[in-house]
Amino acid sequence: IDTAIIIVAAGSGTRLGAGEPKAFVGIDHHSLLRHCLRGVFEAGPAQVIVVAPQDRAGEALAQAYEAAGDRRELVTTVVGGETRQLSVAAGLSRVWPGVDVVLVHDAARSLVPGDMIDRVVAAVRETGHGAIPVLPVVDTLKRVDENRVVGVVDRSELAAAQTPQGFRRDVLDTAYAVSREEYTDDAALVQAAGHPVVAIEGSARGFKITTPADLLRARRIVADAPV
Ligand code: CTP
Ligand code: MG
């Protein structure tokens, strides 16, 4: 096995407000995490590291085993940290020897298809750079200062970043080892450490379930095309 995917699922889901950690909330009869794992096991073979809240590690392992079928030996679980970045670091500490490409994926991007994951791995292997899926920004964007509109932003030079984000394992390890700040995603952390990152075409199914409206959207998608 030369590839690993770290699924970060240790957040509390404050903005969703479902009363339990977000990754364990149901979309249908399956949780966000379980849906995410389905996509991961549709992709090419990889070590699958699920980063879970302390009191949900057993449940995370059970869901991963269920999704893995006869590939249980690929599954590892580990307890996450206070921030997403600490949770990724916890996952990184469990990557097997021999793995040279590592992907980091949000459990909250639960509907990402397996082929999106495969395309990120392929981009890292082809370029040797980090690779992230992005979508064009569709809104008209304004630069504002308090209530005053001070200018326009050319959206053609902007893109919305998704996960999974893929990197060479040595690059990600070093970037995490030297980082002393919080970054909004792994690509920002890797770029701050001086490494290039390429953008590839994202997926409409790669949106992040953050608010109740996002969960409703995911429920509608799953109900229209049951899995
Ligand atoms: N995450 C994590 N560990 C943390 C914080 C976040 O593993 N300490 C994970 C979440 O489980 C999620 C992903 O990082 O899959 C993206 O984070 P976000 O959507 O912000 O999830 P939460 O932090 O759980 O939600 P909120 O910010 O609304 O509390
Ligand atoms: Mg959060």
Q: What is the pLDDT of residues 162-221, one digit of tens each?
A: 999 999 999 999 999 999 899 999 999 999 999 999 999 999 999 999 999 999 999 999
14 CA closest ligand 1 atom index: 29
Q: CATH no. for residue 41? A: 3.90.550.10
CB hemisphere CA count around 43 (13 angstroms): 26
Closest Cα partner for 38 from 109, 118, 114? 114
Which of 16, 22, 103 is the best mutation target for the ligand 1 pocket, counting ligand atoms within 8 Å of the beta carbon and taking the most?
22
Q: Which ligand is nearest to the CA of 9?
A: 1
In the chain, the largest separation of any two C-alpha atoms, in whole Å, equals 58
Q: Which range marks the domain in which residue 64 is found?
A: 3-224
Mean pLDDT for 95-117 is 98
Task: Give the pLDDT confidence score for residue 114 in this predicted structure.
Answer: 98
Distance 1 CA to ligand 2 centre (A): 31
Q: ipTM score here?
A: 0.99
pTM of the model: 0.97
Residue 41 has pLDDT above 70, yes or no: yes
Residue 225: the pLDDT is: 83
Number of folded domains that form the chain: 1
